[in-house]
Amino acid sequence: MRFFRHRLALLGLFGLVVIFGAGIFANYIAPGGFSAINLADSQLLAHPSSAHLFGTDEIGRNEFNRVIWGIRTSMEVGVFVAAVSSLIGLFVGAVAGYYGGWIDNLLMRLTDLVLTLPALAILLTASALLGQGSQWRISGILVAFFWTGIARVVRGVYLSLREKEYVEAAKASGAGDMRLMFRHILPNTLGPIIVNGTLAVGTAILVEAALSFLNLGIKPPTPSLGGLINAAQAYPQQWWLTIFPGVTIVLIVLCVNFVGDGLRDALDPTQRRVRA
Amino acid sequence: MLTYIARRVLYSIPVLLLSSFLSFLFVSYAGNPIALLRQNPRVSHQTLINLTHQMHLDKPVIVRYFYWLHDVFADKLGNSLITLQPIWPQITRTMSHTAQVIIISEGLAIMLGIAVGIYSAIRQYSIFDYMFTSISFFGFALPTFWLALLLQIAFTDIFLHWNVRIFYTSGLNSNPGGSAWSIDRLQHIALPVMTLLIISFALYSRYMRASMLDVINSDYVRTARAKGVPEWKVIMRHVFRNALIPITTVTALNIGGLLGGAIVTETVFSLDGIGFWFVQALNAKDLYEVMAYLVVTSVIIVLFNLIADVTYGFLDPRIRYD
């Protein structure tokens, strides 16, 4: 079973390299950009063919190019949200778990508060009122809600580790708070942080796609996979407009989850492997 | 137990008040409620002034929060800002539709998830297990809206190609005011139910499998087997009943995710549920309706968290509340 899981993790890694590579090198893989229109009759809503791998949309834009550039947007949102919220969560969780006291109390009450709110509804409200349109503002809103989960995890690890003998020994030999927190305890928390951060990439991509699909996320002209599916709603007979962006999202999130699960097995054997 | 419940309820009151206050603050700073009306050339300047005064929009946010809070309790969540209609009847109407969809899909998802979870755990690493493991992995990666859209397209196509109406792909009833429990209604809500069912099923079957495996490898199961208890009895009596305990918590805590899934699903199927209503309120920038949704759903989530904790203590006597 271990081998099977690791094979999946490798497969996921390979898939991610291919898909994200396509996003990073969008200029070369999908030259001509995502917005070149072609109003010739034969080019409107054309079936997938060798000229247009994923067909074209209602104004003759190459769907393949739009999906590739959409991958780039999704990837940027996912990685940015995961990285920034991991960093914030790491600092806040470390301080709360290490010092305890009122900082810890405040953090716990705050995360309690976030947990009482319907997550998607709050994100929708935030992006409807503040962030619609720009991909970076949407990312900022996602970060504002994602860091609390990671902070909770980090806090838990710090709470248990600060009582360990090796920390006491370091303290006895004169290490300061900062040194204890970041030199001695931090390396032992990296496992859960990396695992949670990786899985957060997938969650962020899914949430961003849902927001964009509801027309409350990233707005055109920036291509996003959720936005492409939203636009495809008007053309249910043109299956390629719905299928290709959707399959792309599923593949990205699937690969991210495989990698996350593999990392969990490798780095963090204590954690249960239930949620993908 | 009763004092525990009472204390939890008392604790959740300030939490709910604080979260509603923060939401109110955020919503009122982020959006001007009469901005849309101001764009309307048929609304006179005087009307806007009157409305601003009548809605207490000229007061500081703190004061407005207390006016709003008063409306919430005295006037059942108050009136909409845009249409000036009372909000409560809309909540009860849409909520009854959402509840119907969620209850049916959850009931099916729990039953199926438990059944598949048990079988996967007993036959661990069998073809069956691998198949459903892959299915649940796909379930975790599926965007709810895309799944809903695929089902909608598939059944629209079936209708267009073969002129067979299996399920309707939007709305609640063929005729307005149709009955809530009829074949027609079930045909309409079948696809939303299916969407939420697939997403929840992936989660529950996974948890049930993990929880079964946990119990199967525990000492008292080994003891039971060593005593010579028949295998089916070990599974049904000793393993299954204990493996159910974590599932109750998972299902209760999943309510937030379900409400989120309902937003997306109802929007795709234009189903007159609370999620679709919320999206419309957001697009109309009707701040009081948005607040009403947030408050109602927060109360539901807090309630289900409480139910999760209480049933957990009830089912597992090792947990003591004091």
Decide if pLDDT at B197 tops 90. yes
Decide if pLDDT at B7 tops 60. yes
Is it true that the peptide bond before A221 is cis, omega within 30 degrees of 0? yes
What is d(CA A146, CA A139) in angstroms, rounded to the nearest whole number?
10
Residue B318: per-residue pLDDT: 75
CB A263 within 8 A of CB A195: yes
Of A23-27, B94-98, B111-115, the one with minimum mean pLDDT is A23-27
Mean pLDDT, residues A121-132 = 80
Q: In Å, how far is A170's CA from the nearest CA of chain B? A: 37
Under the banding of pLDDT at 50, 70 and 90, the label for residue A110 is confident
Q: How many CB pairs under 8 A join A and B?
A: 141
**How far is Cα of residue B159 from the mean position of the Cα atoms in its chain?**
30
CB B112 within 8 A of CB B193: no
What is d(CA B246, CA B117) in angstroms, rounded to the nearest whole number?
13
pLDDT tens readout for residues B264-277: 999 998 888 899 99
Decide if pLDDT at B21 tops 60. yes
Report the percentage of chain B scoring pLDDT > 70: 95
DSSP letter at B82? S
What is d(CA A134, CA A12) in angstroms, rounded to the nearest whole number?
29
Considering chain A, what is the average pLDDT of its residues?
82
Mean pLDDT, residues B251-270 = 89
- Cβ neighbours, 10 Å, residue A129: 21
* Better-scored residue on pLDDT, B112 or B257: B112
Mutate to test the interface with A, among B23, B153, B217, B298 (most CBs of A within 10 A): B153
Mean pLDDT, residues B57-64 = 79
Decide if pLDDT at A276 tops 50. no
Amino acid at A46: A
Q: In Å, how far is B256's CA from the nearest CA of chain A? A: 5
**Partner residue facing A121 (CB), from B157, B210, B294:** B294
CB A73 within 8 A of CB A248: no
Extract the tokens encoding A143.
């970060």
**Partner residue facing A257 (CB), from B31, B141, B152:** B141
DSSP string, chain A: -HHHHHHHHHHHHHHHHHHHHHHHTHHHHSTT-S------GGGTTPPP-SSSTT-B-TT--BHHHHHHHHHHHHHHHHHHHHHHHHHHHHHHHHHHHHH-HHHHHHHHHHHHHHHHS-HHHHHHHHIIIIISB-HHHHHHHHHHHHHHHHHHHHHHHHHHHTTSHHHHHHHHTT--HHHIIIIIIHHHHHHHHHHHHHHHHHHHHHHHHHHHHTTSSB-TTS--HHHHHHHHTT-TT-HHHHHHHHHHHHHHHHHHHHHHHHHHHHH-TTS-----
**Partner residue facing B153 (CB), from A130, A202, A242:** A242
Please judge whether B141 and A214 are an interchain contact, meaning their C-beta atoms are less than 8 angstroms apart.
Answer: no
pLDDT tens readout for residues A156-187: 888 888 888 888 888 888 888 888 888 888 88
Q: Which of A75, A22, A12 is nearest to A208 (CA)?
A: A75
Decide if pLDDT at A274 tops 50. no
User: Across chain B, which distance is largest between two alpha carbons, in Å?
Assistant: 86
**Partner residue facing B298 (CB), from A118, A214, A276:** A118
Please judge whether A119 and B150 are an interchain contact, meaning their C-beta atoms are less than 8 angstroms apart.
Answer: no
Q: In Å, how far is A171's CA from the nearest CA of chain B? A: 36
CB A73 within 8 A of CB A132: no
Look up the ipTM and state it: 0.85
Q: Which residue has the tokens 């900062």?
A: A178
Q: In Å, how far is B19's CA from the nearest CA of chain A? A: 6
DSSP letter at B176? T
Give whole-number Cα distances, B258 to A252, B195, B266, B317, in Å: 23, 11, 12, 29
